[in-house]
Amino acid sequence: MKELYRSKVAPKMMEQSKYSNNMAVPRIEKVVVSMGVGKAAQEKKFLELAKKDLMMITGQAPVFCKAKKSVSNFKVRQGQATGLKVTLRGDRMYEFIDRLISLAIPRIRDFRGVSPGSFDGRGNYSMGLTEQGVFPEINPAKLEAQQGMNITFVTTARTDEEARKLLALFGMPFRDAAKINY
């Protein structure tokens, strides 16, 4: 993917958008993969299972995210671990993007494309997966609990349109991609 960016994506973005130099071309800075484990309030084993799965998917140890406030309705106390996240940069990031686009997304049932409206206004894109079983590293037969995850692509693009072009050139299967000319 890194080589794809250098050889095809960056030159195509340069010619389409008339950037003055190579460093002005938008690029993906990092990818953040996070899991909110709501069941962790009742049993710690769900947090450990999610940690093991996230480590297999990303190839990196996740960081625990703790609750900022106590919420009695959800039986969550302040400081209690309720989620996990991994920040990927460099070669691991490009390898994860490659596996996500070429292996995981095609395995999603009834998939019609990712939403083109999930940009934040500053060129960052977020998407969600309802289960971790779409990744080939996870054995669906051994899954004890289905766990969703959020994936955020942080780019150097200034606008959502630049970021959409960048991700589309990487091969992100946006819904209604036929209407978008890249």
**Which residue's entry shows tokens 């071309």?**
25
Q: Is residue 7 part of a domain?
A: no
139 within domain boundaries: yes
CATH of the domain at 55: 3.30.1440.10
Range of the domain at 112: 28-175
Instruction: Let me know if residue 131 belongs to a domain.
Output: yes
pLDDT single digits (tens) 47-72? 888 888 889 999 999 999 888 888 88
Long-range pairs, 13-19, Cβ under 8 A, ≥24: 13/162, 13/165, 13/166, 13/169, 16/165, 16/182, 17/162, 17/165
pLDDT over threshold 80, residue 144 = no
Tens digits of residue pLDDT in 73-127:
878 888 888 889 999 999 999 999 999 999 888 888 888 888 888 899 998 999 9
Taking 80 as the threshold, does the pLDDT of residue 145 lie above it? Answer: no
* Total count of domains within the chain: 1
- In-domain check, residue 162: yes
Of the listed ranges 16-20, 162-166, 171-175, the one predicted with least confidence? 16-20
The reply to whether 5 falls in a domain is no
* CA geometry: angle 87, 52, 90, nearest 5 deg: 25
| The predicted structure's pLDDT at residue 179 | 54
In a domain, 75, yes or no: yes
In a domain, 167, yes or no: yes
Residue at 1 is within a domain: no
Look at residue 89 and give its three-state secondary structure. Answer: coil
